[in-house]
Amino acid sequence: MTCRMSIPILILMKMRSMFEVGSLVLGIDPGTRHVGYGLIRMRKRDGEALDFGCFDIDAALPFPGRLKQIHESIRSLIQKAQPDMVAVEEVFVSQNAKTTLKLGHARGVILLAAALEGVPVAEYAPREIKQAVIGKGNASKHQMQWMIRQTFHLDSNSLAEDAADALAVALCHGLRSGAAVVTRSGGCG
One-letter-per-residue 3-state SS of 44-93: CCEEEEEEEEEEECCCCCCHHHHHHHHHHHHHHHHHHHCCCEEEEECCCC
Active-site hit among 48, 51, 84, 162: 162
The residues facing 46 across adjacent strands are: 181
The region that residue 53 occupies, defined by phi over 0 for left and psi between -120 and 50 for alpha, beta otherwise, is: left
Mark whether 58 is an active-site residue: no
In whole angstroms, give the CA distance from residue 90 to residue 156.
25
- 90 given a catalytic annotation: no
Pick the catalytic residue from 48, 51, 84, 89: 89
162 assigned to active site: yes
The catalytic position among 29, 48, 51, 84 is: 29
Can you list the positions of beta strands (E) in 57-180? 85-89, 121-124
The residues, any chain, with a CB within 8 Å of residue 98's CB and separated by 6 or more, are none
DSSP secondary structure code for residue 14 in this structure = H
- Could you list the active site residues? 29, 89, 162
